Amino acid sequence: MFFRWFATVLLSSMVFVMASAPAMAEVKSSTDKIVGAFMELDADASESISFEEYKAMVDQRAKTRFKEMDANRDGQVTDEEYRRFWAENKARWYRLQR
């Protein structure tokens, strides 16, 4: 259970970091993408990721996701908003799990 959660969070963080990076004209290898994602997470350039650095990324992603789900911007996500969000976005997440 923890591994699945951790893998999901790690994949989400990598996608978030890669999606927020500027588009490059050249095609990057998967190794380049992983190294780039690591460097983005390593905010203090210590060549390691602290729990605080990782948590900051997770918190930012959670805030972004919540805003995407909260369609009427009332600060609450109803079951209808939640279901609509995942119905509209599940294809994106299924592609990531391959």
Q: Which residues form the domain of 39?
A: 2-96
Q: Are 17 and 36 in contact, with CB atoms under 8 Å apart?
A: yes
- At position 81, the amino acid (one-letter code) is E
Looking at the 3D structure of the chain, how many domains does it have? 1
Q: Are 38 and 46 in contact, with CB atoms under 8 Å apart?
A: no
Q: Write the CA distances from 18 to 14, 58, 63, integer angstroms.
A: 6, 14, 17
Q: Are 58 and 9 in contact, with CB atoms under 8 Å apart?
A: yes
Q: What is the pLDDT of residues 81-92, one digit of tens each?
A: 999 999 988 877
pLDDT of residue 30: 84
Tell whether the model's pLDDT for residue 6 goes beyond 70. Answer: no
Q: What is the pLDDT of residues 12-67, one digit of tens each?
A: 666 555 555 555 546 778 888 899 989 999 999 999 999 999 999 999 999 999 99
pTM of the model: 0.55
Q: Are 12 and 61 in contact, with CB atoms under 8 Å apart?
A: yes
pLDDT of residue 10: 58
| Structure-token match 């976005």, residue found | 89
